[in-house]
A = this chain, B = another copy of it.
Amino acid sequence: MPMDPRHAILFEPVRIGPKTLPNRFYQVPHASGFGTRRPRAQAAFRGVRAEGGWGGVCVEYAPVSPDSDEIPAVAANIWADGDGPALALTAAAIHAHGALAGLELVHGGAGSANGSSRLPRIAPSQAASGVQWGGLAKEMTRDDIGRVQRDWVSAARRACDAGFDIVYVYGAHGYLLSQFFSPQTNHRTDGYGGSLANRGRFWLETLAAVRDKVGGECAIATRVTVHGDPGVPGAAGLPGIEVEEMLALVAMADELVDLWDVTVGAWPDDSGTSRYFPEGHQRPWTHRVREATAKPVVAVGRYTSPDLMAEIIRTGAVDLIGSARQAIADPFLPRKVAEGRLDEIRECTGSNICILREETFRQIGCAQNATAGEEYRRGWHPEIFGPTSDDRPVLVVGGGPAGMECAVVLGKRGFTAVHLAEAQAELGGRLRWIRRLPTLGDWGRIVDWRRVQLSQLTAVQVITGCRLTRRDVLQYGASVVVVATGSSWRGDGVQPGHPAPMPGADSRAPHVLTPEQVCAGQRPPGRRVIVYDTDGYFMGPALAELLAAEGFDVTVATVYPVLSPVSDETLEGETLRAHLHRAGVGVCHGVTVTAVDSSAVHGVDRYGDPWTAECDGVVLVTQQVSQDALYRELTADPSALEQAGIAAVHLVGDAVAPRLISEAVFDGHRLGREIDRADAGLPALWRSERPNPAGPAPRR
């Protein structure tokens, strides 16, 4: 289909300094988990974004000095000459598709982990870091200032030599440049502290030095943060920089900068999840920067709609559509827009699973796009599916995330007869009801995208409202069966570390409820409810919010010292806890419930001392259990399978083991890709990237 003319504006080239971006789609710097540690994975990951049409593709943070070492996180270190070749591979992969390659040159200052280098952190003033424990930072001497600036210039030189078109003098997210600029972290009394001009001096000098060295060859970008809401403290250690001060810096630095990259608020706000932040919440503030400069401006906003993107460009709020999460979820968004294939756009759910994986030091992953990060290692392309000559009919039982994903992949691979059978009247598995919980609506995009894909795949037939028994499956006529029957919450109080059912916990009783029962409309017999949470993620808080909104007096009792610790890894923790507090939900921390009755829950506190709370009902968010009975019944009788002509039965998703939804999608995808391998139940061994233990020692 042709492009919608309204979207043509998105495909205009944009000049930035000595370079020209081929269009307005710009993948801003974001972590991948590859850094320079896995050069081939990095190159393939970024190369696919360029192939998908992003006109600018940036690599994650590239520390310019060894005292900005990010270990245990994986960064694209560029402080040594030996780092160049790894990054050159990525620049070449981006160039192969006509995009410009950008590199986020950065110094983390007080926020550097220095877990490998063991060097002291450095900062404008001796201070604790908001994001690192274990010691204060060293107050930088004038020698340190000059040394870091020289390091930045050397790094820019290496980046240019490695083929990058855009180099950052990166100041956002509370890194060293911001630490100098903020009066909250800069208490110097020399020429680098005090007045706005003094606090901006380190930034401006660095920009000038980098421009002096590589300005003719590379575009110079700088990323700034403005605080959108002055009342909101920087949740991730970001110093408070008021927008007026930042605009003054923009004016001072404008002639040194080819591209302004603008973030708003602390990282948990700028990369806020769909649960708590609308798309484009940053616009009022980025617009202020737009007014202060004639240079191109880029900003993110978790935009998924090309209509909205085009409108934003037309209003002049920004010149480029910045994206991290949407480019992870759908690297081919620009090409789909260009080709008018809008219903194929895989919209980001805004759940920040990508960030959870980075924050827990894993490689990148995505709830929507199972291929993210697997481009090199497993050879997965987001839009190209290894075709199959296998034309065996496949029956997928269960239309939740794993089953839908598997059926989509099978359909795209060219399997000729795929049936997806779902017991309920609609597809979606547990997302059918999770998406209706407070704040969780956008998670439904996982279902929606797959439902549209399935509707377009003629080889895949979807049957809903049809619960298949073992006998049904044997008679179905399939040669390969995929069981994706999901999981459910336990109603017996079994919880981590307590494998036996809990006395009094029985979800057949009116005062004991599972999440499914609550979502199906069951309510406790009285006003006072305890939500007992050993899960630690979204379910307990969402149910508590639902019940509180209905007027119940809700307390979450959690085994953890904070409510929903997993949400800290998705950057939601502080927001979620404040949100629940405002909703009137109480929290008891560090308690383990070991028995329930119709008027109370009983257990122990964090010291093992007895603890009791009166209530009229309890919601058990304790542990799930795989619903794999069908799989067990089928595989228990191999001869029946043989007689039925069923060559293989596979189990995927939460029916294997209840996990994050992203992992269920991954599991379904993996099986779809590999179902025609001899040993399809196990994944094919992926490609590793190892240092060569033989031969000469590597370059420093």
Q: Please give me the residue from chain B that is nearest to A233 by CB atom.
A: B497
CB distance from A64 to the nearest CB of B (A): 13
Q: Which residue of B lies closest to A71 (CB)?
A: B362
Please determine whether B126 and A625 come into contact, CB atoms closer than 8 angstroms.
Answer: yes
Asked, given contacts A499-B184, A691-B39, whether A566 binds B134 with beta carbons under 8 Å apart, the answer is yes
**A666 in contact with B118 (CB, 8 Å):** yes
Closest to A123 in B: B657
Q: Does A361 contact B (CB under 8 A)?
A: yes
Name the distance in Å between A67's Cβ and chain B's nearest Cβ.
Answer: 9
Q: Does A688 contact B (CB under 8 A)?
A: yes
Determine the distance from Cα of A176 to Cα of B437 in the docked complex, in whole angstroms.
Answer: 37
Among A71, A635, A690, chain B packs the most CB atoms within 10 A around the CB of A690
Instruction: Give the shortest distance, in Å, between A252 (CB) and chain B (any CB).
Output: 25
B607–A581 touching, CB < 8 Å = yes
Q: Are A66 and B130 in contact (CB under 8 A)?
A: no
Contacts of A365 in B (CB 8 A): 118
- A118–B380 CA distance with the chains assembled, in angstroms: 15
Instruction: Say whether A657 contacts B128, CB under 8 Å.
Output: no
Contact yes or no, A130 B666, CB < 8 A: no
B623 contacts A40, C-beta separation under 8 Å: no
A697 touches B (CB below 8 Å):
yes
If A135-B659, A135-B660, A581-B607 touch, does A691 touch B37 (CB 8 Å cutoff)? Answer: yes
Q: Which residues of B contact A688 (CB under 8 A)?
A: 80, 82, 698-700
Interface residues on A, range: 35 or more
- The reply to whether A147 and B682 form a contact with Cβ atoms under 8 Å apart is yes
Q: A127-B499, A626-B126, A689-B691 are in contact. Are A657 and B121 (CB under 8 A)?
A: yes
Contact residues, A151-196 vs B (CB, 8 A): 184-185, 187
B135 touches A693 (CB 8 A): no
Question: In the complex, which residues of chain B have a beta carbon less than 8 angstroms from the beta carbon of A562?
Answer: 561, 590
Please measure, in the bound complex, the distance between the C-alpha atom of A184 and the C-alpha atom of B500, giving whole angstroms. Answer: 9
1/0 per residue, CB under 8 A from B, across A338-372: the answer is 00000000000000000001001111010000000
A174 to B482, CA, bound (A): 33
Does A658 reach chain B (CB closer than 8 Å)? yes
The answer, among B80, B138, B147, B499, for a CB contact under 8 Å with A657, is: B138
Report the minimum CB–CB distance from A101 to chain B (whole Å): 15
Least CB distance from A103 to B in Å reads: 15
Q: Mark A71-100, 1 if CB is under 8 A from B, else 0.
A: 110000000101101101100000000000
Min C-beta distance of A635 to chain B, whole Å: 8
| Chain B residues closer than 8 Å to A606, beta-carbon distance | 577
Give Cα A698 to B686, complex, Å.
11
> How often does this chain occur in the complex, in copies?
2
Whole-angstrom distance from the CB of A359 to the nearest CB of chain B?
Answer: 10
Whether A138 and B656, one on each chain, are in contact in the complex, defined by CB atoms closer than 8 angstroms, is: yes
CB atoms of A85 and B626 under 8 A apart: no
- Cβ of A521 within 8 Å of any chain B Cβ, yes or no, is no
B658 and A686 within 8 A (CB):
no
Interfacial residues of chain A within 223-277, with CB under 8 A of chain B in the complex: 233, 237
Q: A130-B497, A499-B184, A499-B187 are in contact. Are A137 and B690 (CB under 8 A)?
A: no
Q: Does A504 contact B (CB under 8 A)?
A: no
- With A36-B690, A361-B361, A658-B135 as known contacts, state yes or no: A118 contacts B497, CB within 8 Å: no
Say whether A425 faces chain B, with CB atoms less than 8 Å apart. Answer: no
Given contacts A40-B697, A362-B71, A495-B128, contact A120 B659 (CB under 8 A): yes
Min CB–CB distance A418 → chain B (angstroms): 23
Name 24 A/B residue pairs within 8 A (Cβ), A-sorted. Answer: A40-B697, A71-B363, A86-B691, A86-B693, A89-B693, A115-B357, A115-B362, A117-B683, A120-B657, A120-B659, A120-B663, A126-B626, A127-B496, A133-B536, A135-B657, A136-B624, A136-B626, A141-B635, A185-B499, A187-B499, A561-B589, A581-B607, A689-B698, A690-B691
Which of A's residues lie within 8 Å of B, judged by CB? 36-40, 43, 66, 71-72, 80, 82-83, 85-86, 88-89, 115-121, 125-130, 133-139, 141, 143, 147, 184-185, 187, 233, 237, 357, 360-363, 365, 495-497, 499, 536, 561-562, 565-566, 577-578, 581, 589-590, 606-608, 623-626, 635, 656-660, 663, 666-667, 681-683, 685-694, 697-700
Other contacts beyond A85-B693, A120-B657, A185-B499: 20, CB < 8 A: A39-B690, A39-B691, A39-B693, A40-B693, A40-B697, A43-B693, A72-B362, A116-B362, A117-B683, A118-B365, A120-B659, A126-B625, A126-B657, A128-B495, A128-B497, A143-B681, A561-B562, A686-B700, A687-B698, A688-B698
A-B interface, 7 closest residue pairs, ranked by CB to CB distance from nearest: A135-B659, A72-B361, A128-B496, A39-B693, A561-B561, A115-B362, A689-B691
